[in-house]
Amino acid sequence: MTADLEITRLRESGGKGFEKVFAFLRERLLAGSLRPGDRLIPERDLAAQLGVSRPILREALRALTVLGVVEIRDRVGTIVRRPDPSVLNDFFTFAFAQQSDVVDDVMQARIAIECQAVRLAAERATVSDFEKLQQALARIVETIDDPDGGSAADFDFHRTVVHAGKSETLIVLHSSLSGILMRSHRGRRELLQVFDSMKTYLIEDHRRIFDAIVGRDPEHAERVLREHFAIGDDFRRRAAIGESDARSAS
Amino acid sequence: MTADLEITRLRESGGKGFEKVFAFLRERLLAGSLRPGDRLIPERDLAAQLGVSRPILREALRALTVLGVVEIRDRVGTIVRRPDPSVLNDFFTFAFAQQSDVVDDVMQARIAIECQAVRLAAERATVSDFEKLQQALARIVETIDDPDGGSAADFDFHRTVVHAGKSETLIVLHSSLSGILMRSHRGRRELLQVFDSMKTYLIEDHRRIFDAIVGRDPEHAERVLREHFAIGDDFRRRAAIGESDARSAS
DNA sequence: GTATGCAATCTGGTATGACCAAGGTAAGAG
DNA sequence: CTCTTACCTTGGTCATACCAGATTGCATAC
């Protein structure tokens, strides 16, 4: 192959060590001359060919690792991976970690994702998806009095809906965003327990969403889901106002 | 501060060098004990405190760098950054480089983001946003016969809409997704030129979106935008069928 | 001829120590 | 007091070495 030629040309190209190596590998990955499943040559050899030391090469490989494009397997080698969207979780986690005030903003994105996903779900959901949704729904009913379990069941239902949409991208984004929201507002559901009307809202709303999906009505499904979010937001608002004196915690 | 105590505890914690260090820094960043603007202690000292060698420490720092959470400044130090969403572009570029078949899937996510954003835009857009949208609209009209410029104008209008939604998260996601779509289907618009009805569609649709935003009607805005995407998809479908023989490129 | 077992070898994981270049800073000159 | 300069700091890189486990291949046993 023509690898050596390009490597030679790489030597003179600008960049300072790491940048040079990273850019080289990056180009190779993007161009497709390095495809998923390929195993890179040993670090020592690769470092020598690239004209850098092994630590520097490893910095570049490690950088590619966190991007999910390669996998360094101990005592085996470095292999090119099919990019795993799960690394997005890593990023989003960092990206929205500190700013707790962006939770509402992230929530907007979650709504966006779910509303689109529920549309797709209404079109693409399989019988298997229906069953999973049914189960998720049942769990919501079962755990209606349990804050922890209820929160998990709620999240699980929404996750199932998104999965039923069969869009890998939406699934990934939703997963990442959910992670942030769960981390930030873990106890959000607890204060909702105060309202009795809350319980029926939780059950009925989710059931309506389920029905809309089963009924293959994307338009209706989105409307119901959007309503669901709006009502939930309203509950939170009322809870925040009503209890702002009693519990001004964080 | 209590840094030393935690560092000590870190020493015994599981993990093999890099993993250990990365996990430690990760936790520190997420917990907020390391905040944007902070400067880490010198690599040598930090490596010593963490009980690892400098190359390993640098691997961890480099990993955090590609995630955009820290910035290593030559001969200055390592400083914590406010996560820069632009690194998402880096990731998405890799993630969807080879698989051109995921473009449709990514498009679903883009639709999701924009539909939510246009709702917010209808609620939150300022007069300044109106002006920008107006300008973007004018550019679409001007460049209606120019494939390159037209494509840029089209994209710019949509970008302006999302920005008018005032949601940082949506803006970030949209930017990243748009990057992929532009890279993957750069010449997508060219083949649309064949249809004469296309031009009026492009101009009228965008104007309707603009009107809906100015009219402060979220519901209508989303409906129009969704229609816009559907029609565009239809045009592409027709173009693909009609020209599948003539140009079976890629 | 095939199968099994052991050892040389390969590969990543990590540590040390050293050198360079440039930014920062404090001491010294004016 | 100001300005210059020498020194120290700090990241950037390199070369070498050792470890441990995975791999591989050869030799031996069946």
> What would the pLDDT profile of B215-225 be if each residue is shown by its tens digit?
999 999 999 99
Is the CB of residue A182 less than 8 Å away from at least one CB of chain B? no
Chain B residues within 8 A of A35 when measuring between CB atoms? 98
Sign of CA dihedral B96, B98, B100, B105: negative
- A77 sits in which H/E element: strand A77-80
Residue B194: pLDDT band (50, 70, 90) is low
Query: Residue A137's CB: how many other CB atoms inside 10 A?
Result: 19
Q: Catalogue the E-assigned strands of B56-165.
A: 70-73, 77-80
Do residues B117 and B165 touch, judged by C-beta distance below 8 A?
Answer: yes
Q: CA of A69: which chain B residue's CA is closest?
A: B94
Residue with tokens 């690892």: B52
Is the CB of residue A173 less than 8 Å away from at least one CB of chain B? yes
Chain A residues within 8 A of B82 when measuring between CB atoms? 98
Alpha-carbon distance of A210 to A207, in angstroms, equals 5
How confident is the model at residue A170, as a pLDDT?
92
Instruction: Name beta bridge partners: B77.
Output: B73
The DSSP string of A89-116 is HHHHHHHTTS-GGGHHHHHHHHHHHHHH
Q: CA of B57: which chain A residue's CA is closest?
A: A59
Do residues B214 and B128 touch, judged by C-beta distance below 8 A?
Answer: no
Measured at the alpha carbon of residue A154, what is the angle toward residues A151 and A157, in degrees to the nearest 5? 150
Going from the C-alpha of A175 to that of each of A19, A68, A170, A185, A204, the distances in angstroms are: 32, 17, 8, 15, 24
Number of H helices, E strands in chain B: 11, 2
Chain B residues within 8 A of A106 when measuring between CB atoms? 169
- The region of weakest confidence among A58-62, A109-113, A222-226, B98-102 is B98-102
In terms of average pLDDT, the best of A61-65, A103-107, B231-235 is: A61-65
**SS3 state at A70:** strand
More confident residue, B132 or B244: B132
Is the CB of residue B108 less than 8 Å away from at least one CB of chain A? yes
Closest nucleotide (C1' vs CA) to B39 is: D10
Task: Look at A106 and B169 and tell me if their CB atoms are within 8 Å.
Answer: yes
Tokens of B47: 């490596």
Q: What is the pTM of this model?
A: 0.77
pLDDT at B2 over 60: no
Is the CB of residue B176 less than 8 Å away from at least one CB of chain A? no
Tokens of B210: 């603009």
Going from the C-alpha of A160 to that of each of A114, A126, B4, the distances in angstroms are: 11, 12, 43
Give the DSSP letter of residue A39. B
Return the closest-CA partner of residue B158 out of B127, B137, B138: B137
Rg (CA), chain A: 24
For range A44-68, the mean pLDDT: 93
Return the closest-CA partner of residue B213 out of B173, B246, B149, B165: B165
State which residue has its Cα closest to the C1' atom of C11.
A75
Do residues A159 and A152 touch, judged by C-beta distance below 8 A?
Answer: no
Tokens of B198: 């296309």
Chain C nucleotides close to protein (CB under 7 A) are: 10-18, 21-24
- The region of weakest confidence among A124-138, A187-201, B56-70 is A187-201
Measured at the alpha carbon of residue B160, what is the angle toward residues A175 and B169, in degrees to the nearest 5? 25
Alpha-carbon distance of B8 to A5, in angstroms, equals 49
Residue B190: pLDDT band (50, 70, 90) is low
Alpha-carbon distance of B122 to B129, in angstroms, equals 10
Residue A6: pLDDT band (50, 70, 90) is very low
Sign of CA dihedral A51, A54, A58, A59: negative
